Chain A
Amino acid sequence: MFDLESVLERYSERGRDALLPALWEIQTGLGYISLDTVHRLSHTLHVPATEIYGVIEFYSLFHTEPTGDTVIQVCTNPACGALGADAVMGGLCDRLGIQLGETSADGRYTVLSTTCLGLCEHAPAALVSVRGVGERAVAPAQVDDLLAGIFPPYHPVVGGDIRVLLDGIHPGRAQPLADYGDYVALRHALIASSPEAVIETVEQSNLIGRGGAAFPTGRKWRFTRQSPNLPRYVVCNADESEPGTFKDRVLLEGRPHLLLEGMALCAYAVGASRGFLFIRGEYPEAARRMAKAIAEAEAAGVLGENILGTNFSFHVEIRRGGGAYICGEETALFEAIEGKRGFPRIKPPFPTTHGLFGQPTVINNVETLCAIPGIVRHGPDWFRQWGTDRSAGTKLVSVSGHVQRPGVYEIIPGITLRHLLETTCGGIIGSLQTVLMGGAAGTFLTPEQLDTRLTFEDLWAIGGTFGSGAIMVFNDTVSIRDVLQRLGHFFQHESCGKCFPCQIGTQRQSEILDRLDAPLAGDYERLHDIGLTMTQASLCGLGQTAASAVLSAMQIWPEVFAGREGVG
């Protein structure tokens, strides 16, 4: 039985940054968070009750009303949509005799839709939350299994031309510390390198961030170390929520120690002793495995106090997100850790000087940090042997949709998209219509662009983006209108609502995309104005890219926006 008293007691010495962990425990234990519970939590954490309510309201995995014993959320992203998500959702609702969003008469099930669950290689996906037990991600989701409580484990599909980051990935389990090794790079750095030398090595490697913004990692670390204020923090952004992106999930679930060693090296380099690993709420298995790995590493003395017998200490805490794409934006992620609504902050100031708790902070993507141990151990030249000057090192891509083997692939930048899809992924299923490159915030590519080289610079040159490495493949059985409508719903659902252009623009964009079959006169111009306004005037990267795919579609297929009659 869930015991609220003991939970509150455990949190009694904690501050506001314990709000999300506390809400998660209560949500899982009781299935919802009541007014009375909010008052109790307010007294425990010394946070105004009204503010706690505002936080609960922001995150889609927290509920203020009772739900069914089991909540099933079916993914509606374009990859799941192309592979039967609607049938799963419809099947569940039919069998339970309910509409989407409702709870079955016996109170056992609630069925909801959700945005991308990051299981695109096993589409369609679902997230199952059982009261008193916790969450479980299921893919491919099948109606019978979901209702029978059978959740067959999914296994990562990995491959590619080379195995560096993906080396040691096994189906069904995380790589244990014994297999991973004794944090050799960290040991080497602690004994033989100064923090300054580690930063120099990372700078010389030309590593650029893998989360989507492609900022030089070494420069970020240097700026942080140069900030005089203490303490400094290391934050790993594992809020991977970009539709079509699931590479970080595979790393978190498969190679937790690679990530932890990367975080520890970063902490050593910038002079931090505390780190946070912010994992999106929809990745329960990743959170479980990372927690286990942290315990394992601390027991072995490669994490925690006086690591490897030196005076360097580094502690990592896991924070689970509450269900909000915006928290992948670095400053919104800080707000979430601080126990607030996930609103992005105005930049500047940047995280390197004013990050988590207002302190100098390095925030890096999972894949970026996973590249660090190899770079430190083997040197910058080792890393630069792959790729190009501007796209150095191996790179992970998440391929979903109509290819023979959707999965996470490690590539050497410079190969063509054609090579990736036709050879590495086993070939395109059916006749290729388009590739959505870079996720929902990316752009559409045409079959004529298949020979584009997969590097940051080549993709920028054609007006596209590598983004987070999401590659969604659609053959000619897919309706572009359907894809656009799903993207529109995604941004409409995920806009935080802070700045006016995105708050209203994502709603209006979605409304216009929903009537593409019978557009009103002037809709093309409306979409164009909304798109440019969101792109140029929004506060953060979400709004600035919320029209990216739509604007690219308007260039490629103007007829799609001209109403049903205009399509041949």
Chain B
Amino acid sequence: MSEKMITLTIDGQSITVPEGTSILAAARQADKDIPVICYHDATTPNGLCRLCVVDVNQGRVLQPACVAQCQDGAVVETRNERVERSRRTILEMLDSAVDLGQAPEIQTLIHDYQAAPDRFPDAKRRDHSELDDNPFYVRDYSQCVLCWRCVQVCGEDAQYTFALTLGERGFNTHVTTLFDIGLLESPCVFCGQCVGVCPTGALKPKVEWGMEQGFSADEIRQMTRRPRRKADSEA
């Protein structure tokens, strides 16, 4: 069966792709860079970070390139004034809420889009204390951008373990477990897939975390062999 092909214009360049191709995929095919945060090739795209928004036919609202499909004859602009404002403002707001210190890719975007540091003074941040409740990995949700990837791979995108979910809603949304129990008490099987898809430093293998904290190889070996509450309480 031959696929139906459609032709659209991306930044003035005519591109022909099979029907059903996302704008992001078409743009990548044409070597055009559209930034993403939540998008990951291995997880179901949810179009929630909105960094990938593009202008399609100068419509009333912008379209998320990761999930919006190419339409025949569409005129797409991947970086015009309103696209830039949206991306810049989203980055500034994210920076005002989350510790992005260990998210180099997002730091690069902040630089690219000239997002102002401290654009939002006196802003409530999503501060969480570090959770060190198992020998395998450490969770610091102050660095969590809520891309959902960890919840997705823990659930129906991969593992079907359902150890993770989202608590509260709106700005206060956070990744958590059943009644915030520790991971050892949860259904978590420590498959590590959540750590693998985390785009920031929110989820970190215990060994990497221990090395950053300056523990010796021996000390790290000790701490990854049995559950610990908080490193500082035993230090």
Contacts and interface: CB of A to CB of B under 8 A. Distances in A.
- Whether chains A and B associate is yes
A515 B124 CA distance: 13
A346 B39 CA distance: 14
B170 A57 contact: no
Nearest to B98: A504
Given A57-B167, A504-B96, A346 B46 contact: yes
Contacts of B124: 507, 511
Given A508-B120, A530-B89, A51 B165 contact: yes
Interface in A42-62: 48-51, 53-54, 57-58
A346 B64 contact: yes
Nearest to B86: A537
B225 interface: no
A324 B168 CA distance: 12
A468 interface: no
A500 B48 contact: yes
B189 to A, nearest CB: 13
Contact of B166 (A38, A341, A535, A538): A341
Interface stretch (A116-124, A264-272, A284-292, A488-496): A488-496
Contact of A508 (B123, B145, B162, B164): B123
A520 B89 CA distance: 18
A429 to B, nearest CB: 35
B169 A57 contact: yes
Considering residues A50, A324, A505, A535, which has the most beta carbons from chain B within 10 angstroms of its beta carbon?
A: A50
A373 interface: no
Size bracket, chain B contacts: 35 or more
Contacts of A324: 169
A50 B171 contact: no
Contact of A50 (B96, B163, B169): B163
Nearest to A532: B85
B212 interface: no
B27 interface: no
Given A50-B164, A508-B96, A508-B120, A496 B169 contact: yes
B132 to A, nearest CB: 20
A279 to B, nearest CB: 20
Given A346-B46, A498-B48, A537-B86, A503 B187 contact: no
A229 interface: no
A64 B146 contact: no
B62 interface: yes
5 contacts: A53-B165, A341-B169, A501-B89, A508-B123, A533-B86
Interface of B: 37, 46-51, 53, 60-62, 64, 67, 82, 85-86, 88-90, 92-94, 96-97, 119-124, 145-146, 155, 162-173, 177-179, 186-187
Interface of A: 35, 38, 48-51, 53-54, 57-58, 64, 324, 341, 346, 492-501, 503-508, 511, 515, 520, 526, 529-530, 532-533, 535-539, 544
